[in-house]
A and B are shown apart, each in its own frame.
Chain A
Amino acid sequence: MSSVPGPDKKTKLLVYTIEECPVCGQKTKRAFAVGDYVTKDGAKCSKCSNQTRISLVYAEGTKPSG
């Protein structure tokens, strides 16, 4: 998974890709893969089997445990 240091150095940012089904609106969150970009076709929708599309790519912070 793609990860980058966060603003305070202690936080690690994990980057996710959100795939959204244009038909039923189902959203799937997965780890970012190189080559992903917004509007790129994603996997088939797990709910209605339609073609999903990447709607967002974003980073979320995780504090290290301990």
Chain B
Amino acid sequence: MQAIPGLDSTTLLSLFWIGFIVITFFYQTRLQSYLALNDISRGLSKLKVMKDKARKEAIDYLVNVGKASNDPTQRVDQFLDYVTIMPVDMDPAGIVGKIDHVVTTSNDRVRAEVGALVGQNNPVTVSISENLLEVATSLNQIHKIVRHYYLLGKKTNSYFTLVQLQMLMPMIIQEADALLNAVDSFKVGQPVGDGIGPVVVSKYMAGKEKRVVAKDTVMAITEYKGRKLYVLKADGPMAYVGQPGVAIQKILGEMGAKPSAIIMIDAALKLEGEKTGEIAEGVGAAIGGIGVEKFQIEEAATKEKVPLYAILVKQSILEAITVMRKEIAEAADKVNQVLNRLIEEKTKEGDEVLVAGIGNTLGVAQ
């Protein structure tokens, strides 16, 4: 074979590199869009498998455990697309009351729907069914939103839409995976990591007379070293979170309690690097959610000038919604010690103290 005159290997290599740089310069974004599309498509397939599995688990539970009289598939599919429309916030005055009203209506409807399928005889089964349907709905929503941006990015050839979605995919998959793992714990009624607050206060409530102070929320009165304790938690062992905001407003208002301190115990999301089961103390209303309960508690405490103290048990999102880990469960005794110390330090004999165990009470009675 004859070499082309003037084209030695060095020149050929240089030409190759020049060509490569020119192609990369003009087609880099298109190439990256293609890679991003592939990546998102794989994630989307995983999300589809997850949402189908959660839907199937919910239907199986309603049929096998809930003994649904009719085939619940159609009702479940309708339920998955059920939306709660949040109130307008252009004029924010009174928005918390409106959100509370909308969310309460939504929750009541969910319970009525589930009750119509499985009957109201077993509140544990009804509450577990509600939670399973919520998991299936969340996964369905996640899948729909990711699919929307994937198709939008593909249709408009929008490099930035696709790359942003590609970067978010690992976090989205992680969260979806946590939700799917929660199904296993919910089905058999095992306490979840978020239930550490109720686990701690259940020890104070065991054997005492309980009364319902708000929807799905119970309270007991007990005594510790000369202090009168009002202890509250959601009504277990159902998978409830209750309405601690309404309950605290009622205890401070209607019931006329005059606590010297409100102590709230809750699970808190840990930062990467923090240990599961670590305990943190602080001030303020320790409660998650959309903010309605927090607002109600802060309002009531501010009105009555009662200091709010918080005890938090650190855990990841996965640990919070799946079966309680040993590290979290073993923190219960330490939280008890911190709680007793707080009561002794911040109040004196003859005082009243309100203690609230915040979180999902699945598998935790009182």
Contacts and interface: CB of A to CB of B under 8 A. Distances in A.
Interface in A29-49: 32, 34-40
Contacts of B365: 37-40
Contact of B206 (A2, A39, A60): A39
Contacts of B363: 36-38, 57
Nearest to A60: B326
A57 B206 contact: no
Contacts of A35: 189
A24 to B, nearest CB: 16
Interface in B144-196: 181, 184-185, 188-191
Interface residues of A, number: 22
- A interface secondary structure, majority: strand
A7 B318 contact: yes
A42 to B, nearest CB: 13
Nearest to B199: A38
B311 interface: no
A4 B322 contact: yes
A56 interface: yes
Contacts of A56: 199, 324, 329, 332
Nearest to A18: B329
Nearest to A37: B237
A5 B206 CA distance: 32
B199 A2 contact: no
A13 B328 CA distance: 14
B58 interface: no
Contact of B191 (A2, A53, A57): A57
A34 B185 CA distance: 11
Given A5-B181, A37-B237, A38-B365, A58 B188 contact: no
B202 interface: yes
Given A5-B181, A58-B326, A58-B328, A34 B188 contact: yes
A2 B325 contact: no
Contacts of A2: 188, 190
Interface of A: 2, 4-5, 7, 13, 15, 18, 32, 34-40, 53, 55-60
Interface of B: 181, 184-185, 188-191, 198-199, 202-203, 206, 236-237, 316, 318-319, 322-326, 328-330, 332, 363-366
The list of the 4 closest CB pairs from A to B, nearest first, reads A58-B329, A37-B237, A39-B365, A38-B364
